[in-house]
Amino acid sequence: MSQPTIESILQENRVFPPPEEFSREAAIASLEDYQQLYDKAKADPQAFWAELAEKELHWFQKWDTVLDWQPPVAKWFVGGKMNISYNCLDRHLTTWRKNKAALIWEGEPGDSRTLTYAQLHREVCQMANVLKELGVQKGDVVGIYMPMIPEAAIAMLACARIGAAHSVVFGGFSSEALRDRLNDAEAKLVITADGGYRKDKAVPLKEQVDLAIANNHAPSVKNVLVVQRTGQKVHMEPGRDHWWHDLKLNASADCPAEPMDSEDLLFILYTSGSTGKPKGVVHTTAGYNLYTHMTTKWTFDLKDTDVYWCTADVGWITGHSYIVYGPLSNGATTLMYEGAPRPSNPGCFWDVIEKYGVTIFYTAPTAIRAFIKMGEHLPKARNLSSLRLLGTVGEPINPEAWMWYHKIIGNERCPIVDTWWQTETGGFMLTPLPGATPTKPGSATFPFPGILAEVVDLDGNPAADNEGGYLVIKHPWPSMMRTVYGDDERFRRTYWEHIAPKDGQYFYFAGDGARRDEEGYFWVMGRVDDVISVAGHRLGTMEIESALVSHPAVAEAAVVGKPDELKGEEVFAFVTLEGDYEESEALEKELKQHVVNEIGAIARPGEIRFTDAMPKTRSGKIMRRLLRNLAAGQEIAGDTSTLEDRTVLDKLRGGA
């Protein structure tokens, strides 16, 4: 099994039409239906979105202007007032959905909880009141550092309810990474838990928060709200740290949702880029609500009877948009699972599907590759007949993994939606609509209605069929990121100037290469910048390099992605040492651990290669292309004539 290569994908010409019985029941039931919707949206995007906003969402006050576009700054539904927590909860309470399961949660050790819409609403209101009591006001930022338990979703919705922005930090990030993010966002309060379960272990979280904010290192943080999950012993700083279960006892369940301006900040979510520290991606209220609502509804062809399970963590955008906001806004039943497939029960995912009769299953290619490795006897031993739709996200899926998913999990009757999107886009950009789009393994197919996607060259000219280029979006869409938190200039530079605007046409570009085949299908080839994807997690090579050089032994570091069968890519680091240090296995281990401490376990280098010098151009730039070849164990491709010292390469090869 391997990652898709241009060659393997070019040879991919299998087509899977939507199963007839699926299309028969689907809201968008044919390619013609899709085309009509697409054309309608393209002809008048503002009218298209306005009609849906009116029909699908609750507003305290209607907008005056659908779109105010001063490139690259977009404002949607200007003058409108709404609250996403109201749309996700309150409006369902006056319908039969009041007692429908909103959130089904399965804990790793086997405990479980189901919250109806009424119960979830109650908990959210209580937490919202507790936040207010602790001094959180509209416009403040709240950090959330949680395991995958219902309170993670409750915390997000509670913030949204009172108009505080949340900044969720993935629980696998280290205290250092957490601190950077809390400081950048100037978070006033942190919501966390004592710990959480993952892969048969209780992972400490509160302890990491303590380390992050100790010695006034995160001075904006005044309070910490702690949910008890594992029962492990934690330090509770008097006056600063509060148990959720204590404060909940006296918290009122009456907390009307704050009417928010459409463009009020909803959340900040940090993500890696090719340069500098992680960027705080800013999403605002109404456009994000509408777009995640519509993409959930149409891409998953949601029915009221669905039990929908997205296996992401709420620490990533997928968890935000497609565990919490999109499904709940639609009144769906969303399932949340605490852990990951674990040594003591590698078949646990299939158990969950069988136990709850999951109908829609949405996961990442890296997980599918791990399932393949664990063996098909595991899913085959369970009854997965409840499934009707499958999805993938996060990285290009190799056709072999797609076929396995189709055959073994979907029993050849479930469509697969391969959804291409990003933290920055807020929701799906390219995706099949399952009742309408014939799929091709490895292709995210076509743009969602309202999305004008294209593959272009550096001058913005469309690429010919099957010719590679940059994947861009040419018209604003409701859930597009609004800016980089606190850095409008970086926003402009990073996303809007890579391909220069031409004749008033702006091109949104966030780093992926792609091609379009002769039938208009998009094939995303992966990042063209220095961002790597390890097990579907996006990491900036520069962040890892900075972590390495912060160790006293390291003089210089260069990090590249090495192709990996399971994880897609693995972190491979080339390191030169300071004069007094000698390479050793112990030092290699220490450096790997250092990266874990600085960023988190997801960034741990798989391999570190010590070298006396880096291959550089005469102007002193590290030639990463060569390092990528070396890491992959390939012959050096292309021109090396700009290399300053050719003997460096021989030395690096010698270490291979």
166 binds ligand PRX (CB under 6 A): no
Is the Cβ of residue 223 or residue 423 nearer to ligand PRX in the bound state?
423
Residue where the block lists tokens 């999305």? 451
Six token digits for residue 15: 């087509």
Tell me how far apart the alpha carbons of residues 191 and 631 are, in angstroms, rounded to a whole number.
40
539 binds ligand PRX (CB under 6 A): no
Six token digits for residue 303: 């029915």
Of 402, 400, 394, 427, nearest to 512 by C-alpha is: 394
Tell me how far apart the alpha carbons of residues 134 and 229 are, in angstroms, rounded to a whole number.
21
Tell me how far apart the alpha carbons of residues 650 and 13 are, in angstroms, rounded to a whole number.
41
Closest CB 164 distance from ligand PRX, rounded Å = 23
Six token digits for residue 154: 């409750």
Task: Determine which residue in the list 12, 180, 264, 512 makes contact with ligand PRX, applying CB under 6 A.
Answer: 512
261 binds ligand PRX (CB under 6 A): no
Tell me how far apart the alpha carbons of residues 637 and 622 are, in angstroms, rounded to a whole number.
16
Task: Determine which residue in the list 129, 271, 330, 359 makes contact with ligand PRX, applying CB under 6 A.
Answer: 271
Q: Letter for the amino acid at 3?
A: Q
| Per-residue b or e along 572-588, where b marks 16 or more CB atoms closer than 10 Å to that residue's CB | bbbbbbeeebebeeebb
Of 500, 426, 530, nearest to 72 by C-alpha is: 500
- For ligand PRX (CB under 6 A), the number of binding residues is 21
- Footprint on residues 398-427 left by ligand PRX (CB under 6 A): 418-423
Of 371, 501, 511, 639, nearest to 71 by C-alpha is: 501
Listed ranges 398-406, 479-487, 519-527, 633-641: which one lies at the site for ligand PRX (CB under 6 A): 519-527
Closest CB 567 distance from ligand PRX, rounded Å = 14
396 binds ligand PRX (CB under 6 A): yes
Closest-CB residue for ligand PRX? 423
524 binds ligand PRX (CB under 6 A): yes
Tell me how far apart the alpha carbons of residues 247 and 552 are, in angstroms, rounded to a whole number.
45
Tell me how far apart the alpha carbons of residues 155 and 119 are, in angstroms, rounded to a whole number.
14
Quick note: the x/- pattern for ligand PRX over 356-395, rule CB under 6 A, is -------------------------------------xxx
Is the Cβ of residue 273 or residue 331 nearer to ligand PRX in the bound state?
273
543 binds ligand PRX (CB under 6 A): no
Is the Cβ of residue 242 or residue 482 nearer to ligand PRX in the bound state?
482
DSSP 8-state secondary structure symbol assigned to residue 99: G
Tell me how far apart the alpha carbons of residues 363 and 402 are, in angstroms, rounded to a whole number.
12
Tell me how far apart the alpha carbons of residues 373 and 379 are, in angstroms, rounded to a whole number.
12
274 binds ligand PRX (CB under 6 A): no
444 binds ligand PRX (CB under 6 A): yes
Closest CB 288 distance from ligand PRX, rounded Å = 14
570 binds ligand PRX (CB under 6 A): no
Quick note: the x/- pattern for ligand PRX over 317-346, rule CB under 6 A, is xx----------------------------
Residues of the shown chain interacting with ligand PRX in the complex, contacts defined by CB under 6 A: 271, 317-318, 393-396, 418-423, 444, 510-512, 524, 526-527, 538
